[in-house]
């Protein structure tokens, strides 16, 4: 079994990107907007800022109180859209309940939408003609490449159909000529489907959801889940102990998909800066 070490792959990509940033005439700049005081969101924002620091990317943090109104948030996004020195805008999700995520995402100019959540960018991904790839699925594609798997003709099963992970993940696998099945909470006989997978991606959000009997021996298993247990420990969606002996390659949690997501955000920010200064 090969451990797909996202931390190591991410570190390698970050070094390459740091060298690229040095050669750019304009220093890329990422604006990160955090509304409220969700502790997990705080951690994610800090990690994104640390990623920027490592690469010599400028990061601007805008922390807004949880009572922020939709109008106030849209006003900030507008200002960042207009600011020529800001190349990427990221609004950390989830937003407090009274704010409308869809409207907020649509307010970000597509060329600055480094999360690739704007409908224009989602559409571009669908037709295979894109500027940015969504960070988590893009990071997973790098890890699958690292496993040495040629996806052409392979059976790939994605558990989860969210707009940020499951759906774009399926699309990227399809672009690489895999045969893709997307499963969700209404899927009948999930195990029967997942056992067909040469590559199984779990993005469910339930600890140890994927058990050994759901995995085909020799499969590549990608665990997207980040679940915090009562004792504070982080765990994925895959029962790592039981599944790792039968998988040909598997990602750990933590240290698998998570660090890759940050690296891909950095890549998108560099791409945005380059495109806006052509
Ligand atoms: P969502 O909650 O948006 O989606 C979860 C998906 O799992 C849904 O499509 C849901 O189906 C499906 N699901 C739930 N229960 C079952 C079940 N019993 N059988 C089959 N499918 C089921 O989550 P996200 O996609 O946003 O995130 C998934 C996980 O990945 C979370 O743990 C999250 O923290 C993590 N994550 C990690 C990232 C990283 O960088 N490593 C980045 C983003 C997310 P239905 O649609 O029918 O409800």
pLDDT in tens, 194-223: 999 999 999 999 999 999 999 999 999 999
* CA 267/CA 30 separation, integer angstroms: 11
Q: What is the pLDDT of residue 113?
A: 98
Query: Measured from the CB, is residue 165 less than 6 Å from ligand 1?
Result: yes
Contact 193, 201 (CB under 8 A): no
3-state secondary structure the chain: CEECCHHHHHHHHHHHHHHHHHHCCCCCEEEEEEECCCHHHHHHHHHHHHHHHHHCCEEEEEEECCCCCHHHHHHHHHHHHHCCCCCEEEECCCCCCCCCHHHHHHHCCHHHECCCCCHHHHHHHHHCCCCCCCHHHHHHHHHHHHCCCCCCCCEEEEECCCCCCHHHHHHHHHHCCCEEEEECCCCCCHHHHHCCCCEEEECCCCCCCECHHHCCCCCEEEECCCEECCCCCEECCECHHHHCCCCCEECCCCCCHHHHHHHHHHHHHHHHHHHHCC
> For residue 200, what are its two tokens?
């199984």
Question: Taking the model in full, what pTM does it have?
Answer: 0.97
Q: What is the pLDDT of residue 129?
A: 94
Pocket test for ligand 1, best of 224, 233, 253, 259 (most atoms within 8 A of CB): 224
203 alpha carbon to ligand 1 midpoint, in Å? Answer: 4
Angle between helices 6-23 and 135-146 (to 10 degrees): 110
CATH topology of domain 135-258: Rossmann fold (3.40.50)
Q: What is the pLDDT of residue 42?
A: 96
Contact 134, 164 (CB under 8 A): yes
Q: What is the pLDDT of residue 77?
A: 98
204 alpha carbon to ligand 1 midpoint, in Å? Answer: 3
Task: Over range 112-118, report the average pLDDT.
Answer: 98
CA nearest ligand 1 atom 41, residue = 258
Active-site position among 112, 113, 115, 167: 115
Q: Report residue 233's pLDDT band, with 50, 70 and 90 as the boundaries.
A: very high
Report domain extents, the chain: 25-109, 135-258
CATH topology of domain 25-109: Rossmann fold (3.40.50)
For 18-76, the pLDDT digits (tens) are 999 999 999 999 999 999 999 999 999 999 999 999 999 999 999 999 999 999 999 99
Q: Report residue 248's pLDDT band, with 50, 70 and 90 as the boundaries.
A: very high
Q: Report residue 85's pLDDT band, with 50, 70 and 90 as the boundaries.
A: very high
Could you check whether 25-109 and 135-258 share the same CATH topology? yes
For 117-154, the pLDDT digits (tens) are 999 999 999 999 998 999 999 999 999 999 999 999 99
* Average pLDDT value over all residues in the chain: 97
> For residue 183, what are its two tokens?
């499963």
């Amino acid at each position: 079994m090969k451990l797909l070490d996202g931390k190591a792959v991410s570190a390698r990509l970050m070094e390459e990107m740091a060298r690229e940033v040095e050669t750019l005439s304009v220093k890329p700049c990422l604006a990160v907007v955090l509304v409220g005081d969700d502790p997990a969101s705080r951690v994610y924002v800090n990690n994104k800022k640390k990623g920027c620091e490592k690469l010599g990317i400028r990061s601007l943090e805008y922390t807004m109180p949880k009572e922020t109104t939709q109008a106030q948030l849209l006003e900030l996004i507008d200002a960042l859209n207009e600011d020529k020195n800001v190349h990427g805008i990221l609004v950390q999700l989830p937003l407090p309940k009274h704010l409308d995520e869809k409207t907020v995402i649509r307010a970000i100019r597509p060329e600055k939408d480094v999360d690739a959540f704007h409908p224009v960018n989602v559409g571009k991904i669908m037709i295979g003609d894109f500027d940015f790839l969504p960070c988590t699925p893009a990071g997973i594609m790098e890890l699958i490449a690292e496993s040495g798997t040629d996806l052409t003709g392979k059976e790939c099963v994605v558990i989860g159909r969210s707009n940020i992970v499951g759906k774009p993940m399926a699309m990227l696998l399809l672009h690489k000529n895999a045969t893709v099945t997307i499963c969700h909470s209404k899927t009948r006989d999930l195990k029967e489907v997942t056992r067909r997978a040469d590559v199984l991606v779990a993005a469910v959000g339930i600890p140890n959801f994927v058990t050994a009997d759901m995995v085909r021996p020799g499969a590549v298993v990608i665990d997207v889940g980040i679940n915090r247990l009562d004792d504070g420990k982080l765990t994925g969606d895959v029962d790592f102990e039981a599944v790792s002996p039968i998988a040909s390659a598997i990602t750990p949690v933590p240290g698998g998909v998570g660090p890759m997501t940050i690296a891909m955000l950095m890549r998108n920010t560099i791409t945005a800066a380059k495109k806006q200064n052509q």
